[in-house]
Each structure stands twice: as structure tokens, then as C-alpha cells.
Amino acid sequence: MAKIILFELNEVPFKVIDYFVRKYPNSTLAQILPISKQFETVTDDQGHLHPWSTWPTLHRGVDNSVHKIKDFGEDLSELNKKYPPVWQILQENSIKTGVCGSLHSYPLPTNAKEYDFYIPDPFAWGSETHPKEIQPFQEFNLAMVKGSARNVNSGFDKKAALKLGTNLSTIGVRAKTVSAIAKQLVDEKLSSWKVVRRRSFQSIMAFDVFLKQLKKHKPQFSTFFSNHVAATMHRYWAATFPEDYEEYLLSDEWKNRYSKEIDYAMHKFDGFLSDVVDFVKSNPEYKLIIASSMGQESTLAMEQKSELLAKNFDLFLNKLGFTNEDYSILPAMHPQYNASFKNDSKRSELIEILKQFDIKGDKIESRIKENGFISIDLGHRNLEENDVKFKEEIINLKDYGLVNEPIQDEASGTAYHIPQGILIVFDPTNRDKAERVAGVNSKRIAPSILANFGVKPADYMQTNLIDAIAKS
């Protein structure tokens, strides 16, 4: 039975892995990839692919036709009983477990103290952690997520930052990270556009927190989630891989400015990887699994000047006739907005009201789930101020809590989700080279992890296990 570290490198495909390895042959990734088992995974999820759906498929061993998770903030209490995530199953079978940032890991479970550590995902609506001493980091983390969505906010939550700053050593944030943050702030002063690199620093600090807990507790199974490369790929794929596009409508200035951003994000990942590989080599009872639940590929290389966002979702709902007593706002990521209505009739009323919007010929899409949940999609692009109508009248966006937000880097999402992801298994005790295997169903990962620990996979899980994971 091997111990396992599951490094969740969100949405990264092998195209980016191979590109980085070729370009940087001295990187840690380039050193371990040839002696790791490699699988190109595919998710069975149907419809619009999103990480908040494809990660549960990987974690739970059932696809979205079964788990039906579509959005952040859904009440998963019943689902967790029927199709629990792999970390819950392992903990319930007395496997020492730690969780750091995995999607849908909030709320903190009632038995959190039975985990070695438990740090919920960065889209949680509360900052609770185990151990509690990590909470100042999570407070800062959530504040940064809230403040930086489509654009990166050049400011920061001073109260949360001060609380974090007085607890850095306790939390585990290293001196080299503090130095890197200071350098980043200087770089922003010299080149203001480099503020976009702040997206990586939440992952950098989170990794420090994870690494301290990993070394302290040495759990049998642990997870770490990072979104920083995914966020960069969405925006700057066209700058790194311009040859992927039949029609290229972005300027040479834009391409030259952002051409190294995926490299930058991957270098930060490679720094994480170096630390984890050193740990695994020093503790050879561990396997390192690097996985993404899906990937990305090129879409359109075109300019985007603006995006419709709800900067004040409360005001938006209030303006439509609902009071704060009618609903609770749930976590989401711009341009998606989630709420839970106490009364289903009120939620139905909102759905009908949303149909009365006309946004340059488009509507406002929404989805509902049990327990009053509703998710609303904005994100309409390149609008003029008079493009938004409600009840056939042009509205003042500000009055409705809306804004036609200028896009910081003036790029549309130049890459988007595809079913293919990565699975890389580094075992320091088995360095035999093997060919990369394609078409591996991501639902095979969870039961393979369980089998490694001698835990019988559930009857609803795949029976075709991945030997590189399941067998020591």
C-alpha cells in the first residue's frame, strides 16, 4: 500500500505539458515525466464542461448524468451520502487524509478534526479550516477570489492581509514566497499589465500551507488543487500557440506582451513540483499523482473589450423585486451568480422576470436545483450601454448593480474546455519507462485510489482499475 499525493492541476492538457518539457529540459517536470506512467484521460461528462462538474466525476467515480453537479454552492449533503468523494471514503475507512482546495470540499465536515488537515476550496462561502490556525490564510484567499474574477484587482483586502501577515510562519508561508510577492508588487509598478500574474500567487501561498501540513502529518492520502495555470491558459493560449488559429484577430503587441504567461504559470507549478518530488524521494512510500479532470484547447483569437457582470448581485435582485429575506447569495465565479431562495415560488418568479431581459438579442440563462438553488449566467460581451433592455426599456446598468466591465487584457477566452485531461503517476520505486496511454476514463481514478489502500470500490464505480495507481 503506497501513500498518495493527488496534485490537481486544473484543466492542463498534455499539449501544455509537452510544450513546457521541450522548452525547459532542465525543469523538474522534464526530469520526472519520462520515468512516470502517463495517461491521457477523458471525462464522460455530457453538455457544457466545467471543472465544478468534471472534478466530482473524477473524485466520486460517477459522471454528471449521475452526480448532476453543475455549479458551485449546491447543497451536496445528500449526494455525499450516495456518491461521496474519494477523500471522504478513505477517511471513513481510517486512512489518514488531508484535503487542500479540492473543488466542492466545502462546507467543512462535522468530523473535520478526524482529518490530518482540511482546507476547503477557494470558492467556499466560509473561511473555516482544520486546523483552525490556517483560517487567516483562507480568509485572505477567499477575499482575493472575490476581488479578482475576470480582471485582477490591483488592490487587496487590507484587514485580511494584515491578519495573514501576522500569522505567516504559523500558517507556513515561506520567506521565499514573501520575497516573490514583494518582487511582484515592484514589477507591477514598473509594468502595470503584470498585475495579471497575481492569479498565480494564491496558489503559491496555498501550496506553502499544504506543504507544511504534508511534512508535519505525512497523511496516507492528500490532495492539493491549483487553478493558476487554467486561468492563464483561458486568457493567453493565443499568445503562446498562435499557430492553433485559422483566423487571428489579436494584435502583435498583445501577442508579444502575453506570450510568456503560460510559461510563467507553469514555472510556478514546476516550483511546487520540485518541492513535492523532493518530499516523495525522501519518503519513497509515496506516489505522486498529477491529474486534471479535463483539458483546454484553442477557441477564438479575437479582441474582447468588455463583459457584462453583476458587481452588486444583491442590488440586482432587489431591483427585480426581491428582498434580502427571500434569498441567500452563494459563492460563484463571475460571470455566474448563485443564490438559494427560501421559497420556490419566489425563485419561479425570478425565472419569469429574467425572461424579460433582452441583451443585444440574447437572454439571461439560468439553472435550478433542489433546496431553492438557482444559478444565473451573465458575461455578455462587447456591449454598448444601450444594449441591455428590461421590459422593452433600455436600463441604466448601475441602477441594477450591473456593469459593462472593460477587460484588462482585451482578450476573449482564447481557449476552452475539452474532455481530455492528464494523469501522471510518479513512483520513486518504479521508474520503468512506458508509453503514454490515451482514452483512459477519468472515472477509473477514484476506484484505483481506493484499491491502493485496500478499500473496496463501491458497486457503482468502474471495475477496470489503473494498475499504476491501484498496485504498489
The per-residue pLDDT for range 231-289, each reduced to its tens digit, is: 999 999 999 999 999 999 999 999 999 999 999 999 999 999 999 999 999 999 999 99
Question: What stretches in the chain show pLDDT beneath 50?
Answer: 150-151, 154
Q: Position 158: which residue type?
A: K
Total Cβ atoms within 10 A of residue 398: 13
CATH of domain 3-301+415-470: 3.40.720.10
What is the CA 159 to chain-centroid distance, rounded?
Answer: 25
Nearest to 416 by CA among 155, 234, 278, 208: 234
The predicted structure's pLDDT at residue 365: 94
Contact call for residues 329 and 339 (beta carbons, < 8 A) = yes
Four-point Cα dihedral 345, 347, 349, 353, nearest 10: 180
Instruction: Give dist(CA 347, CA 352) in Å, integer.
Output: 9
Cα separation values, 405 from 197, 287, 455, Å: 20, 44, 50
Contact call for residues 119 and 143 (beta carbons, < 8 A) = no
The predicted structure's pLDDT at residue 155: 53
Nearest to 410 by CA among 383, 382, 377, 379: 382
- Enter the pTM of the model: 0.90
Total Cβ atoms within 10 A of residue 418: 17
Contact call for residues 150 and 405 (beta carbons, < 8 A) = yes
Phi-psi region of 119 (alpha: psi -120 to 50; beta: other; left: phi over 0): beta
The predicted structure's pLDDT at residue 361: 92
The predicted structure's pLDDT at residue 135: 94
Nearest to 320 by CA among 362, 366, 360, 384: 366
Contact call for residues 374 and 347 (beta carbons, < 8 A) = yes
Instruction: Give dist(CA 100, CA 7) in Å, integer.
Output: 10
- For the chain, domain boundaries: 3-301+415-470, 306-406
